[in-house]
A and B are shown apart, each in its own frame.
Chain A
Amino acid sequence: MTDSDSFDLSIPDPWGDLPAYALNALGDEERARVEALLDVSPEAREELRLYMEMAEALSYVADSAPPEHVRAGLLAQADSDIHLMDVARAEARSVRPSRRSAFYGLFRSVRVPYVGTAAALIAVMGIAIFFGIESSRLGSEVAQLRMDREADLAQVADLRQVVDETSAQSDAQKAEVARLTAVNAGLNEALKNQQWLTYVTQNREFRVPNYFVGGPGAPEANGTLAVKNFDDLAVFLVSGLPPAPDGFQYGLTLVRDGVPEQVATFQVNEAGMARVEFKLPDNIVQFESAMVVLNSVDPGDMSVSGLEVMQVSETNR
């Protein structure tokens, strides 16, 4: 075929656009059409693979060495990421809930205050009896009574200590009750989200292009991205993520041609969950991958941004 065979194309021609796709020479609409073709056509993917290899070969057209500080800067960034991951792990450990059951807290909350109250009552009664007896005794019994009184005062001191300890334990129990309340709220939210997820997976209005799993920094995390058909509404549901360290937030990032674009940011609640609704950007109708990254809240701080904490599950790559 020569140039004379060519003609102006007024209708979409995604097959004919494959060479330009490999050379990164398409507009957004043309790219979307080619990517839609690639989704359904193994033949198109194979033809594109050949063109992409040629595009890669073009990188050999020049040769110059980068300065050494590029390598050093890259490795410094990597070290910074590793440090950040360590901080995130430490944060995760510090917020991990106790493994004690709810029954333990309930038992403690009932038992300990009654023990304290009963002990205090006994102490008061003992003191009253002591003073009543002392006023009615004479002579040689006084010394014995004084000894008894000292013993009783020591007992009162012990009982006061018990009351003080009980008070401290009560504060701890209040904190435990607050934590259990938060967990309960989280479980309620999880139940609602689970119901929503069931609705999505059984409803043809939605498709679920990606399931997510946690990386080394969040091994218990998992998530689901659902996109509404014939609309640009997307919902991301995640659980098991540790709260982001101070000054950081999570970002949902979609990847097209290896180039990431952040589409939503979020924080998780105390139970490690979040539900994020957002509009899918026009230029990301098709995307090849997705991930959750840990970003600095400060957009000017690029030194530790973009650390990947969740990625698409192998099962739906």
Chain B
Amino acid sequence: MPTKYQEMEDLDLLEEISNRNRDALAELYDRYGRRVFSLAARILNDPVSSEEVTQDVFLSVWRRGSSYSSAKGKFTTWLFSIAHNRTIDELRKRRRDRNRQNDDIDDHLNIESVEISPLENAVAQSEYAKVRDALAVLPAEQRQVVELSYFKGLTQAEIAERTGQPLGTVKTRMRLALRKLRNALSSEISAAV
């Protein structure tokens, strides 16, 4: 039998969290902790750092959830924006520390190597598959800029320098890639909104 928190909408949970309700925080973590950890692990390729990032993201929500406003968009968009920002900050910090920016970057999105474990939720499984399929059909050069920016933490200027392409070309590829992804995932997005 589901608990009352399991039946709450995300924003109701967030309100409970702003009143220091740890059970609401636990439920929010149960909903999105796996996705946040997966994203961090995919980008950082380091389980320990990914665990720290995951904990930091939800602590941010716990301590500063009141900074969310629906005017900023969907709650999950905001949550994963925090998760991505925090993860990329960690990646760039490590890159600066190691001073080997070009040594650990693989230009190609290695979709085939992504380990997809059995999910408890069939709907979620379907979402993972849709996103992977949508990425797989992008032209290679567009997939590359997505990979280098979103998953490798390079700025568009760094991508231009690394690929030898004009900055305008990189911008165009980013825009086209996101629009094609949107078209491919439009039914899922509309269902989720």
Chain B nearest Cβ from A307, distance in angstroms:
6
Docked Cα-Cα span, A289 to B69, in Å, equals 10
B101 CB within 8 Å of chain A: no
Stretch of A114-122, A123-131, A147-155, A255-263 with 4 or more beta carbons under 8 angstroms from chain B: A255-263
Q: Are B67 and A9 in contact (CB under 8 A)?
A: no
Interface residues of A in 46-69 (CB under 8 A from B): 49-67, 69
Chain B nearest Cβ from A297, distance in angstroms:
18
Query: Which range holds the interface residue count of chain B?
Result: 35 or more
List residues of chain A with CB within 8 A of the CB of B26. 71, 75
Chain B nearest Cβ from A102, distance in angstroms:
37
Docked Cα-Cα span, A260 to B166, in Å, equals 33
* 8 A-B pairs with C-beta separation under 8 A: A23-B150, A24-B84, A51-B178, A54-B178, A62-B116, A65-B37, A216-B20, A291-B66
A270 CB within 8 Å of chain B: no
Interface string of A218-244 (1 = CB under 8 A from B): 000000000000000000000000000
Interface string of A1-43 (1 = CB under 8 A from B): 1110111110001001111101111110000000000000000
List residues of chain A with CB within 8 A of the CB of B166. 6-8
List residues of chain B with CB within 8 A of the CB of A66. 33-34, 37, 50-51, 54
B10 CB within 8 Å of chain A: no
Of A20, A57, A75, A77, the most chain B CB neighbours within 10 A belong to A57
Chain B nearest Cβ from A88, distance in angstroms:
12
Given the interface pairs A7-B166, A75-B26, A258-B60, the reply to whether A1 lies near B67 with Cβ below 8 Å is: no
List residues of chain A with CB within 8 A of the CB of B132. 60-61
Docked Cα-Cα span, A8 to B167, in Å, equals 5
Q: Are B149 and A20 in contact (CB under 8 A)?
A: yes
